[in-house]
């Protein structure tokens, strides 16, 4: 939940999926669609909403740094916080 899950999800969503969306969408559209898909993959309505918002933040980190690693580390930190709170 705190290491493998975030790393895998970020490689898929902020790596592969986001890059593919950039081929036919403007960057803002790629971020929004990617984040919506990320939210839908998280089950309950509350988790979907929070995951969608997190997806936007993670996508912006990916965009700003140019690497998926920033999104992976942020996602890990968020999951750790959720696990301990």
- Give the pLDDT confidence of 6-62 residue by residue, as tens digits: 999 999 999 999 999 999 999 999 999 999 999 999 989 999 999 999 999 999 999
Least Cα distance to 5 among 61, 79, 60 occurs for 79
pLDDT higher than 90, residue 1? no
What's the predicted TM-score (pTM) here? 0.93
pLDDT of residue 16: 97
pLDDT higher than 90, residue 3? no
Report the length, in residues, of the chain.
85
């Amino acid at each position: 939940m705190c290491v493998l899950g975030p790393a895998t999800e970020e490689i898929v969503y902020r790596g592969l999926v986001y890059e593919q969306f950039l081929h036919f969408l403007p960057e803002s559209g790629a971020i929004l669609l990617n984040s919506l898909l990320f939210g839908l993959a998280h089950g309950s309505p509350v988790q979907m909403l929070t995951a969608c918002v997190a997806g936007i933040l993670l996508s912006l980190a990916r965009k700003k740094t140019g690497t998926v690693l920033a999104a992976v580390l942020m996602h890990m930190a968020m999951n750790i916080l959720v696990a301990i709170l």
